[in-house]
């Protein structure tokens, strides 16, 4: 009887041990962080828990703080796979510059940077990835072959140990330096000062960057009225650009492939746009708008805070006020013609009588000036007019004062 009791207890012990091993389970808690930075959780990430046989065990989604829970999971070894459909971002020429430096063996990548830089998804970072970011994505607007998001595949051994919770890293494809904040949806505004420049049929427009002495890369997106403007050429004093002009948008990139910063020229121009008005132009001002994704990069691969100046092309005020004014002797009148044509500039007294023909001639489009002598005219107030004919006729008037 004693033997039977001992045998029964042994069998019961084995059954309980087996049952406890089968039923041993608990929650798996963890988090998904952008570049594994604690202050950048990634919300709305869909997670799959896969066992060693490749079977899907459970699914869950991260909360706003990036945390997740798989409830009542048996102890064992699992892998976690992640995906998301939220907006990606943060990619710019700073990332291209860091990729360039990495490929020259100057800048080492962390595992998550390596993953972010592999935009073609072939498992390694090569020159193809660099050119995909430099021109394929920013200039051409092509999507990355790796997709908008990349995540580490994490292996986790689930046991009674509650201190080794899994932390998975994720990144927008191409955001090597990890600048994106997943919870932020809006692109921050950039500092732009819009000025005026007289409109001519053929124009050259300089986009300048204030408070910047040198840069190592740039990415510029400029919107314009495509039906009224033809872009002939886009260039930069910094070096050869990669750019496209399509559907009313200029997309341009440049990276200094010496790996150093380059000093800006006098006036701090970073982009030069040459173009002309089209036959569809019917008058009025024309504006070039700088997209908020435009940026400059320093030689450390960081974004540079710059105040951009972008001229708008104004069709008004082709005739300037004379200088000096009042005057005695000679004064100068400056005027701008939007097109080639015949010009009449006449001087009238306060009674509206023509007292002097200042100019009557053919002139080319562009800036001009003419001197006026007060000889033979009495002191007083006069009015001078600029008149032209053509596709963009002008009729403007200014006042001058002659003293004695």
Which range, 20-34, 68-82, 161-175, 176-190, has the best average confidence (pLDDT)? Answer: 68-82
Single out the residue of 84, 50, 49 nearest to residue 66, CA to CA.
Answer: 84
Q: Other C-beta atoms within 10 Å of 228: how many?
A: 17
Q: Is residue 201 part of a domain?
A: yes
Q: What is the model's pLDDT at position 161? A: 74
Q: Is the pTM of this model over 0.75?
A: no
212: CATH: 2.60.40.680
Taking CA atoms, 71 is separated from 49, 51, 157, in Å, by 11, 15, 15
Mean pLDDT of all residues in 363-384: 92
Output 104 or 282, whichever has higher pLDDT.
104
Tell me how far apart the alpha carbons of residues 378 and 61 are, in angstroms, rounded to a whole number: 87
Q: Is the confidence at residue 135, as pLDDT, over 50? A: yes
Output 5 or 105, whichever has higher pLDDT.
105
Q: Is the confidence at residue 12, as pLDDT, over 60? A: no
Query: Do residues 174 and 195 share a domain?
Result: no
The domain boundary residue, chosen from 161, 184, 207: 184
Single out the residue of 96, 52, 89 nearest to residue 170, CA to CA.
Answer: 89
Q: Is residue 290 part of a domain?
A: yes
Q: Is the confidence at residue 188, as pLDDT, over 70? A: no
Q: What is the model's pLDDT at position 331? A: 95
Query: Do residues 174 and 200 share a domain?
Result: no
The answer to which of 4-18, 112-126, 171-185, 290-304 has the lowest mean pLDDT is 4-18
The pLDDT tens digits of the residues spanning 92-114 come to 999 999 999 999 999 999 999 99
Q: What is the model's pLDDT at position 262? A: 85
The pLDDT tens digits of the residues spanning 49-66 come to 999 999 999 999 999 999
353: CATH: 2.60.40.4070
Mean pLDDT of all residues in 234-242: 93
Query: Do residues 115 and 179 share a domain?
Result: yes
Give how many domains the chain has, as a whole number: 3
Mean pLDDT of all residues in 217-232: 94
Of the chain, the percentage scoring pLDDT greater than 90 comes to 63
pLDDT confidence band for 131 (50 / 70 / 90): very high
Query: Do residues 300 and 385 share a domain?
Result: no
Mean pLDDT of all residues in 46-50: 96
Residue 209: which domain range? 191-314
Q: What is the model's pLDDT at position 296? A: 92
Query: Do residues 60 and 100 share a domain?
Result: yes
Average predicted confidence (pLDDT) for the chain: 88
């Amino acid at each position: 009887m004693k033997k039977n009791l001992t045998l029964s207890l042994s069998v019961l012990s084995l059954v309980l041990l087996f049952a406890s091993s089968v039923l041993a389970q608990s929650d798996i808690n963890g988090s998904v962080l952008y570049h594994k930075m604690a202050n950048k959780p990634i919300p709305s990430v869909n997670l799959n828990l896969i066992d060693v046989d490749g079977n899907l065990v459970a699914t869950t989604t991260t909360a706003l703080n990036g945390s997740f829970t798989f409830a009542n999971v048996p102890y064992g070894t699992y892998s976690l796979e992640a995906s998301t459909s939220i907006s990606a971002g943060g990619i710019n020429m700073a990332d291209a510059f860091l990729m360039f430096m990495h490929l020259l063996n100057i800048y080492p990548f962390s595992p998550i940077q390596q993953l972010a830089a592999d935009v073609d998804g072939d498992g390694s970072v090569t020159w193809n990835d660099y050119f995909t970011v430099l021109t394929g994505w920013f200039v051409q607007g092509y999507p990355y072959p790796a997709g908008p998001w990349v995540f580490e595949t994490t292996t986790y051994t689930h046991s009674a140990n509650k201190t080794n919770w899994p932390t998975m890293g994720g990144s927008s494809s191409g955001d090597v330096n990890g600048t994106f904040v997943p919870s932020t949806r809006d692109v921050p505004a950039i500092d732009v000062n819009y000025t005026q420049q007289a409109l001519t049929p053929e124009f050259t427009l300089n986009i300048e960057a204030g408070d910047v002495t040198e840069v190592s890369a740039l990415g510029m997106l400029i919107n314009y009225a495509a039906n009224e403007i033809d872009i002939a050429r886009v260039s930069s004093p910094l070096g050869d650009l990669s750019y496209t002009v399509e559907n009313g948008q200029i997309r341009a990139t440049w990276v200094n492939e010496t790996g150093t910063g380059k000093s800006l020229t006098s006036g701090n121009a970073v982009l030069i746009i040459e173009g002309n008005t089209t036959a569809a132009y019917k008058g009025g001002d024309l504006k070039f708008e700088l997209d908020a994704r435009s940026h400059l990069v320093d030689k450390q691969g960081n974004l540079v805070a710059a105040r951009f100046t972008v001229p708008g092309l104004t069709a008004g005020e082709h005739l300037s006020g004379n200088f000096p004014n009042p005057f005695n002797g000679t004064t100068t009148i400056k005027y701008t013609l939007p097109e080639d044509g015949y010009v009449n500039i006449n001087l009238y007294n306060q009674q509206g009588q023509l007292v002097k023909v200042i100019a009557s001639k053919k002139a080319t489009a562009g800036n001009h000036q003419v001197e006026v002598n007060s000889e033979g005219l009495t002191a007083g107030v006069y009015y001078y007019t600029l008149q032209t004919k053509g596709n963009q006729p002008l009729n403007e008037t200014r006042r001058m004062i002659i003293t004695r």
